[in-house]
Chain A
Amino acid sequence: MNARRLPWVLIVFLLLVWIPWFGSRYYTFLATDIVILALFATSLNLLIGSTGLVSFGHAAYFGIGAYACAILTKTHGLPFIVGLAAAPVLAGAFAAFFGFFCVRLTRIYFAMLTLAFAQIVWAVCLKWNAMTGGEQGMPSVPYPNMDWMNALPFLAGLRVGEKYYLVALVVVAVCFALLRMIVYSPFGRMLTVIRENPERAGFIGINVRRYELAAFVLAGAFAGVAGALFGIFNRGVFPDFAYWSKSAEVLIMTLLGGMGSFWGPAVGTAALLWLHQQITAYTQFWPFILGTILIILLFAFPGGIVGAIDAGLTRLRRRRRA
């Protein structure tokens, strides 16, 4: 199965790399958006899809990562690499602290506490003017220094936005590689086991809370990276990065693509953002469309796009055998 999948990933990656040259500015913009948010959604799926933990407050770590990077690069003038490294560390640290309390709860209480913590983060970002710029946020977060790219002939001609797209793409690709490694590792298998039957998991020797906390921290760290990248792309970091509606957005992207597969959330993100772009061109009633799509999804396609494709392929295979 994996031998058949790997070329696809490589092909998609190469196509993505090629976008600044064959696509317009618009496509590069959209691709940057998709790529960064796909990382955000996949980090959430480490919690929902792999471990069975439904978090309503994942945007908190997205926001923390974004602010961490922005504050270090804009307010303190440190290089981008420092900001980028600090984002997952800080986001992961907060995830460790919040997660410690969250994993001791189950189901609805877990979800509510993740939400409460996220709203606290949002409230702090909104009101701590000195540090976070308050309601105004932090506009004009600087781009990383990409002059070194001019040394390479095929990169020299690109605009800033396109150069940044390639930087973000590489960072995201590395993160995806790490996430994929984690999901398929023995640790990832333990998470699956926890999702399937937390009680039994304890009784094969797994300290369930410790593993859930580890998953929580890893998910938060990767969300932090996504936040840092997004803040620069968005030309500004704002309190609503941590607001619950952002958590809901990423939840929907994950569901749309399919929580049961690794690439599901990425597919869902691409689909949702593309749809959003298309529809908002014609009407302001995007929430209505989104709500309707969500309802159809919940009733007819609980496995998301990838789930539907999988089911379709299985049916085709069965018919061919018969």
Chain B
Amino acid sequence: MTEPTFLFGQFVSGLTTAMFLFLIASGLSLIFGVLRVLNFAHGSFYMLGAYVAWQMVQWLGPRTESFWLAVLVAALAVALLGAVIERLLLRHLYRREELYQLLFTYAVVLVLGDLAKFTWGTQQLSVPRPPSLEGALHLFGVQIPYYSLFIMVLGPLIAVAFSLVLSRTSAGRMIRAAALDREMLSALGANTNWLYAGMFAVGSFLAGLGGALVTPVRAIVPGMDVEIIVEAFIVVVIGGLGSLWGTFLGALIFGQVLAFGILVFPGFSIFAAFALMAAVLILRPWGLLGKPLK
């Protein structure tokens, strides 16, 4: 049970899960960092990304490089939906207590969940892997699918890209300023409306992207929205709400806890994940790499 090959296999599996989660959780963290909204519907955007990607593949025909086009379209569609929801509805609740914003995002979860069920039914759907990434790498006796490698590389790439945007560009500077002090920013004349809509769109884009990219690996099924949002919350809390590298770290930790929790006893993983979340909140509420909220 504890042979090196098995352990390495679990490690790789944990890494893949981690990078997937990072992709999705980073959007959640970003939205919280700037808008101070914990978006329950983030998981729904993930799910919609998956369904739209599947739909695109159905229309464009499977097994061609249409997969990548489908992924892009799905992510953009979800981003657009996010921006619309934020501009039309969510922004009217900013003045109210946080509870109302949270419950609103939960209401969106309910609505989008049923819309998806209505449109695509309750059966499991799946998308075949793009031909360019079929096959696997054999390393240390473990089969690592090329697709998983792709995800494992994509995660850090996106983290680094975002990090550069935040630190080097003027838009990035505005985002960081907004995370620190929203009122001041609007007092300085920055167009916070576009900033909020934009941030919400970017976060949702990441969720949709994650959902679209997960289609060759996981089944598309009702309930995937709820499942992923719980995991994303854990990651973001552990790493630190609003911190990009915190989310990265949190995802890595969570991925490994999930992978190796099996060894302690079955079911230990979920217990351990929530226990870890509770421990972080008790000892260091703003997360491992986060900063205390104002």
Contact = CB atoms under 8 A, between A and B. Distances in A.
B271 A288 contact: no
B233 interface: yes
Interface string A174-206: 000000000000000000000000000000000
A294 B106 contact: yes
Interface residues of A, number: 37
B194 interface: no
Contacts of A295: 89, 104, 107-108, 111
Contact of B281 (A109, A119, A123, A298): A109
B104 A120 contact: no
A302 B107 CA distance: 14
Interface stretch (B93-101, B130-138, B141-149, B177-185): B93-101
Interface stretch (A76-84, A88-96, A248-256, A265-273): A248-256
Interface residues of B, number: 40
Interface string A123-139: 11011000000000000
A285 B92 CA distance: 27
A54 B107 CA distance: 17
Nearest to A259: B99
Contact of B113 (A244, A251, A287): A287
Interface of A: 48, 54, 101, 104-105, 107-109, 111-113, 115-117, 119-120, 123-124, 126-127, 244-245, 248, 251-252, 255, 285, 287-288, 290-292, 294-295, 298-299, 302
Given A112-B277, A113-B281, 16 more contacts: A105-B281, A108-B38, A112-B233, A116-B274, A116-B277, A117-B278, A120-B275, A287-B110, A287-B114, A288-B110, A291-B107, A294-B110, A295-B89, A295-B107, A298-B104, A302-B100
24 contacts: A54-B99, A101-B281, A107-B98, A107-B293, A108-B293, A109-B281, A111-B102, A112-B281, A115-B233, A119-B270, A119-B274, A123-B271, A127-B267, A244-B230, A248-B106, A251-B103, A285-B114, A287-B110, A287-B111, A287-B113, A291-B111, A294-B106, A298-B103, A299-B89
